[in-house]
Amino acid sequence: MLKVQRTRHAVQQFRTGQLKSIGHRSTKAPRPPEIPPREETYARNTVDPAKMARRKNRAVMLHALANIEQWAWDIIARYGPSHPDLPPAFFADFTKMALDESKHFSLLTARLAALSPPTPYGSLPVHAGLWESAQVTFPSLRARLAIIHLVHEARGLDVNPGTIAKFRRAGDAESVRVLETIHHDEVTHVTTGHRWFTWVCARQGVDPVETFREEVRRGWRGDLKGPFNAEDREKAGLIPAFYENLKGEMDNDAEAGLPQATVAVGYEGAMRQQADI
């Protein structure tokens, strides 16, 4: 919740012109940590994604979703200093995304608190698969945009409607409203990822579709799984040529230092084992 509060404050400062610099043109900008600090209780509850149990109820699913809504600032802090040509619109887009993610986290933890019995965030096991996948992209903004925003977040567009339908069948109208809000926002997040991925490709003089497929082959393991929500993907700019018949070929050398079986897990890992609710 402290991260949520600081996010709201930072975005308000940015939008009102009180945040004079975000450090991307400074030679002294601090580097973000390789692993974000987590409160000790949550750190103890972080497990290998391969060991996550099947999602058996609403609390477990909502808790898993809340866990992936907390990583949005890294793209600004990590790549800004190495890309002084990034325009203000980049930071406007990604501060909005950070604000959205903090809203999603708050909505989901509020739903967890309203369940009977209440389920505080951090009381159930979580994984850091999304962050571990992000680590693969540390050397490249282009790779980060491709893997996190156009693979992980785009996968959310595919699986969200089925999850919403399960909560609707369970009669949980409040959670349905929360998940519908999140899904709507996630379409804009994939749109943002597509916008800046194509901007980077234009600056580098490369084709965005072929370059995306190259990034996935290099930074992902296994097939991009369907079924795909082609309608919402296309709203975000992802035509089928981007993602159909595409398989990651990342080898173990590219994952140096990352735990086995944790790469390529983020949103998909939180959602692939649908809750029996």
> pLDDT per residue over 233-262, tens digit each?
999 999 999 999 999 998 754 544 443 333
DSSP structure class, residue 252:
G
Residue 161 included in any domain:
yes
Domain span at residue 153? 2-13+45-271
Percent of the chain topping pLDDT 90: 64
- Terminal-to-terminal C-alpha distance of the chain: 27
The pLDDT-based confidence of 21 (bands split at 50, 70, 90) is: confident
Residue at 130 is within a domain: yes
Task: Look at residue 157 and tell me if it is in a domain.
Answer: yes
Q: Structurally, how many domains does the chain consist of?
A: 1
Per the CB < 8 A criterion, the answer to whether 194 and 238 are in contact is: yes
Q: How far is 78 from 138, CA to CA, in rounded Å?
A: 8
Q: Is the peptide bond before 227 cis (omega within 30 degrees of 0)?
A: yes
pTM for the complete prediction? 0.88
Q: In one letter, which amino acid is 32?
A: P
Q: If DSSP codes are grouped into helix, strand and coil, which group holds residue 223?
A: strand
d(CA 240, CA 34): 34
pLDDT in tens, 118-175: 999 888 887 778 888 899 999 999 999 999 999 999 999 999 999 999 999 999 999 9
Residue 264 backbone class (left: φ over 0; alpha: ψ -120 to 50; beta: rest): left
Separation between Cα atoms, residue 213 and residue 43, nearest integer Å? 34
Q: Tell whether 19 is covered by a domain.
A: no
pLDDT for 72:
79
Residue 144 domain flag:
yes
Instruction: With H, G, I as helix, E, B as strand and everything else as coil, classify residue 10.
Output: helix
25 vs 85, higher pLDDT? 85
Whether 49 contacts 261, CB under 8 Å: yes
Domain assignment present for 23: no
* 200-235 per-position pLDDT tens digit: 999 999 999 999 999 999 999 999 999 999 999 999
Q: For residue 206, is it within any domain?
A: yes
> Which pLDDT does position 276 carry in this prediction?
46
Average pLDDT for 50-63: 74
In this prediction, residue 203 carries a pLDDT of 97
Q: pLDDT class for 68, splitting at 50, 70, 90?
A: confident
Mean pLDDT of the chain: 86
Q: What are phi and psi of 224, to 5 degrees?
A: -75, 115
113 or 258, greater pLDDT: 113
125 within domain boundaries = yes
Q: Are 125 and 66 in contact (CB under 8 A)?
A: no
